[in-house]
Copies of this chain bind each other. A is one copy, B any other.
Amino acid sequence: MTGSGQGKTPHCPVGRVLGLRERKKLEAWRTIRSTALRLISECGFDAVSVEDIATEAGVSRTTFFTYFRSKEAVVYDLDPQELQQWRELLADAPGDEPLWEALTGLVLSLAELLADRLPLQKRLFQQSPELCDSSRDVCDSFGPDLREWVARRTPDGDELHAALVINTAFAAFNTAIEAWDPDDSFDHFLDLARDCLRLAGGGLARSVS
């Protein structure tokens, strides 16, 4: 907190240094998010209003909505730094693997990125089904990036195939989340996700019954 020898020279090993403004912004984001998750996990999603969250986080209701576009978003959105990691994952993804395999890898990496928040999120989903519903395609933070990544790897004129691949991968991932018990280990969740992706990619028509 007390300016510790970071005078003028940007020695920061990872990325560039953040100005005061940006640091405060990130801090505010995290304060709001953690306050929200705490209140919501204590009282339930519906029992907590945006006003409650804002007040408790020491910020105005209006400010809440400049950070999060909806009340649900505060549960779903990726931390800005996680988002950056996710973008790096996408950028570094190998270009020679078959599409579905590469996609499987990405989705599993994403899961690991979310690891610490997933059990809580799953518990919130169990509490309020409507929250669960709205999560479907409000993969606001990573969805668009991933779509673009797939599109870039898709030969022209096969947008249908690209869309199908993405939607199916999401379906598999969501199925794993639905099936997972948050009291089980995270590795168990990864196994579930792997299974779902393998089955969905490998041909459901061919599987048992």
Give A contacts to B, CB under 8 Å: 98-101, 133-134, 136-138, 153-155, 158-161, 163-165, 167-168, 170-172, 174-175, 178-179, 192, 195-196, 199-209
Contact = CB atoms under 8 A, between A and B. Distances in A.
User: Do most interface residues of chain A lie in helix, strand or loop, or is the interface mixed?
Assistant: helix
Contacts of A137: 133, 136
Contacts of A174: 167
Contacts of A195: 160
Given A160-B195, A199-B164, A209 B172 contact: no
Contact of A168 (B155, B158, B172): B172
A101 to B, nearest CB: 7
B160 A204 contact: no
B179 A209 contact: no
Contacts of A154: 209
A192 B160 contact: yes
A167 to B, nearest CB: 4
Nearest to A154: B209
